A and B are shown apart, each in its own frame.
Chain A
Amino acid sequence: MTLRTLIVDDEAPARERLRNLLAENEFVELIGEAKDGAEAVDRIERLSPDLVLLDIQMPVLDGFEVIETLDAPPAIIFVTAYDEYAIRAFEVNALDYLLKPFSQERLERAIARAHEQLAAGREFASRIGPLLESLREEKRFLTRVAVRKAGRFLVVDVRDIDWMEAREGGVLLHVGAAEHAVSRTLTELETRLDPSLFFRAHRSIIVNLDRVKEIVPWFAGSHRLRLTTGAEVDLSRSRAKELREILGL
């Protein structure tokens, strides 16, 4: 079995180096390249590779954000020049990574290991959840979210999101006048967003704290939040107290 492999790196020399080093590799069939995170998401969805060599620091979406955008990420070997937090997260979760500049031997070993694991039918996706969890512990919060719009990807800075609500099969992001659907759960998003920026106001709602204008009393002791954009969203009774504390009311 050969691994259909995608190379993702924003630097042309780095991509070329990987291409050269892998040209003769018996396990690898190169099926394409991507030069930034959004392109990576697009190629992964269209080509569904077995293995991705994924650079971490990239424009538009970084390597981790690429993974978070994917519903079912393929096997991944992370590539980084220098990132102590990421490396700690990989170590903790026993994920393979390459440090630039890596040797041919090191690369071949990583590929062989990936091949072995894929041949044995070991799921890679199941190890991604804990990785994202460790990143949160390192205070690496989500800064951008990729959303699909008419067949292509649009990248939204999380600080531009006014509020988000759970919908059937995903979450609806409200960004100014626009609305974007993403296929993740609200709780998943909550665990990856910086709690100093976002607040779970209700079972089905997260608001951007920057947009909260006032807390309006509603029926029977419940409350609603009025946002600076004019929108009004539910605030559950149990969350109202915490919100007042956060806002210093």
Chain B
Amino acid sequence: MITRGDAKRLLLWDAAGALGVGLIVGFFSRDYPYSLATGFAMVYMIEVFYILNGSLLRPRIGGLPRVRRVLVEIGASFGSHLTGGVLGALLVMFLFGRFTILVVLYLVAFSLFFPAIHSVQYVRMFYRELRETELQEERLKALAAEAELKALKAQINPHFLFNTLNTVAHLIRTDPPRAEKTVEKLAEIFRYALIAVEKDVVPLADELSFVEEYLALEHERFGERLLVKTSIAPHSLQILVPPLILQPLVENALRHGQSPQGQVQLNLETHLNEQSLVISISDRGPGLPTHTTRQEGTGIGLRNVRERLERKYGQGFGLELAENEPSGAKITIIIPKEQP
């Protein structure tokens, strides 16, 4: 939109321009009234159309694709200059009763020269916008990649690491062979996490043995408070799944699925449907908090897994959180049997 300040400035600059050109042309043609009148008439007629064009057209073309918007702007610039110029010329003819080569020169200058300058500006603007969009897209891509990496990094909880190290510090004195075993398992876990991050998919069998190692260490810490039952469909083992999706869910169950006495009963099951692999992890804890719906997860780990599955597989696959029967919470993930 053109503000009052803009209008004032435009009118003044136009006056200066018309006066300047009119005086110069008048000096050569020795006909000051005619050349000044022609200059003012044309410049202001053009301005009227150009402003009209700007305020009527611009709000309507914002939604057009960029190339078409630039073409429309250029066309409108030529159109409004030509219309304004011709009307200005007609006005001068009407006032002075004569038509000279001077008017033609003015017309050519105003209705071709200025729109040409405008066109150059529009095209330059077009390229600048285009480059900015590209930069923006690159930035977004980098951000997404970083988010993915962060998500994966966050999945082995530092809390788990330091608590396990504490257990090791204890076992070194009291039970060195068990300390040794624990350190080996810890190494396995971190090695898997580091290698799996690089992979797009891994066999479910790998994920399961990783979770088994992880649970063995948690068992060291939880003692008899942790009870795990697994039931794995044999044919599901070779199915390919994204890496590091099970451990965050198990960790989530350990954290939120504790009974008031701090006990955890974990149930890990897989089975195959016609199209998909279904993995469920349930606990016998307090169940979902009253304000949680099936759609939203609670922890960061859960949200990461959900987002990764949804991005990868789209509709019909992903993660669901529900009440478990007879008590506790149940997380189900559904993955296509065949990778897309």
Min CB distance B211 to A, Å, is 20
Q: Within the assembled complex, what's the spacing in Å between the Cα atoms of A99 and B169?
A: 13
Q: Within the assembled complex, what's the spacing in Å between the Cα atoms of A10 and B166?
A: 13
Question: Contact at A35–B162, with CB atoms within 8 Å?
Answer: no
Question: Contact at A17–B170, with CB atoms within 8 Å?
Answer: yes
Interface-facing stretch out of B53-61, B220-228, B313-321, B332-340: B220-228
Min CB distance A161 to B, Å, is 12
Question: Contact at A81–B162, with CB atoms within 8 Å?
Answer: yes
- Which listed residue, A36, A58, A81, A155, touches B166 by the CB 8 Å rule? A81
Which residues of chain B are near A100, meaning CB under 8 Å?
162-163, 165-166
A182 within 8 Å of B (CB atoms):
no
Which residues of chain B are near A155, meaning CB under 8 Å?
260
A60 within 8 Å of B (CB atoms):
yes
Which residues of chain B are near A101, meaning CB under 8 Å?
162, 165-166, 168-169
Q: Within the assembled complex, what's the spacing in Å between the Cα atoms of A50 and B166?
A: 25
Q: Within the assembled complex, what's the spacing in Å between the Cα atoms of A237 and B221?
A: 53
B258 within 8 Å of A (CB atoms):
yes
- Encoded as 1 (CB less than 8 Å from any B CB) or 0, chain A from 156 to 172 comes to 01011000000000000
Question: Contact at B173–A20, with CB atoms within 8 Å?
Answer: yes
For A38, give the chain B residue with the smallest CB separation: B260
Which residues of chain A are near B70, meaning CB under 8 Å?
none
B159 within 8 Å of A (CB atoms):
yes
Question: Contact at A81–B159, with CB atoms within 8 Å?
Answer: yes
For B222, give the chain A residue with the smallest CB separation: A11
Report the interface size for chain A: residues with CB under 8 A from the other chain.
25
Which residues of chain B are near A35, meaning CB under 8 Å?
262
A210 within 8 Å of B (CB atoms):
yes
A16 within 8 Å of B (CB atoms):
yes
Q: Within the assembled complex, what's the spacing in Å between the Cα atoms of A20 and B262?
A: 24
Q: Which residues 259-300 in B have Cβ within 8 Å of A in the complex?
A: 260-262, 286, 289-291
Q: Which of B163, B220, B290 counts the most A-chain CB atoms under 10 A from its CB? A: B163
Min CB distance A204 to B, Å, is 26
For A36, give the chain B residue with the smallest CB separation: B262
Q: Which of B166, B167, B171, B220 counts the most A-chain CB atoms under 10 A from its CB? A: B166
- Encoded as 1 (CB less than 8 Å from any B CB) or 0, chain A from 4 to 28 comes to 0000001111101100100000000
B3 within 8 Å of A (CB atoms):
no
Min CB distance B157 to A, Å, is 8
Which residues of chain A are near B166, meaning CB under 8 Å?
11, 13-14, 17, 81, 100-101
Which residues of chain A are near B157, meaning CB under 8 Å?
82
Which residues of chain A are near B260, meaning CB under 8 Å?
59-60, 155
Question: Contact at A10–B167, with CB atoms within 8 Å?
Answer: no
Q: Within the assembled complex, what's the spacing in Å between the Cα atoms of A140 and B96?
A: 85
Which residues of chain B are near A210, meaning CB under 8 Å?
290-291
- Encoded as 1 (CB less than 8 Å from any A CB) or 0, chain B from 138 to 156 comes to 0000000000000000000
B158 within 8 Å of A (CB atoms):
yes
A-B contact pairs, 21 of them (CB 8 A): A11-B163, A11-B166, A11-B167, A11-B222, A12-B221, A13-B166, A13-B167, A13-B170, A17-B166, A35-B262, A36-B262, A58-B262, A59-B261, A59-B262, A81-B158, A82-B157, A82-B159, A82-B162, A101-B165, A159-B290, A160-B290
19 more CB-based (< 8 A) A-B contacts, given A11-B163, A159-B290: A10-B262, A11-B166, A11-B222, A12-B221, A14-B167, A14-B170, A14-B221, A17-B166, A20-B173, A36-B262, A58-B262, A59-B261, A59-B262, A60-B262, A82-B158, A101-B166, A101-B168, A157-B289, A160-B290
Closest 9 interchain pairs by CB? A17-B170, A59-B262, A81-B162, A100-B166, A101-B169, A101-B166, A82-B158, A81-B163, A13-B167
